[in-house]
Amino acid sequence: MKEKGVIKKDLRLNRRDIAYVKYILEGYEGLATVTTIDRSESVVQFSILPDFASDVDGILGALKKEIDIFEICGGER
């Protein structure tokens, strides 16, 4: 059994790509929610259930081939 709770990932991307990323993730209903947490800095937060973490990582890996995505660690913002 995997740990309970939600995994949070903060990502910085180009402002024009925020809607695209949200659209892609919404297509995989239930994997993650995407919330814009800082519009001026183009930062979004993924809330991921632990059972789907590898799936979301795979999607992000594919998206990184198309657009610039930078994971923000700790208090980097």
Say which CATH architecture domain 7-72 belongs to.
2-Layer Sandwich (3.30)
pTM above 0.75, yes or no: yes
- Collect all residues with Cβ–Cβ distance below 8 Å to 18 and sequence separation of at least 6: 36, 42, 44
At 11 the pLDDT is: 95
What are the pLDDT tens digits along the chain (77 aa)? 344 689 999 999 999 999 999 999 989 888 999 999 988 889 999 999 999 999 999 999 999 999 999 999 864 44
Domains of the chain, by residue range, sit at: 7-72
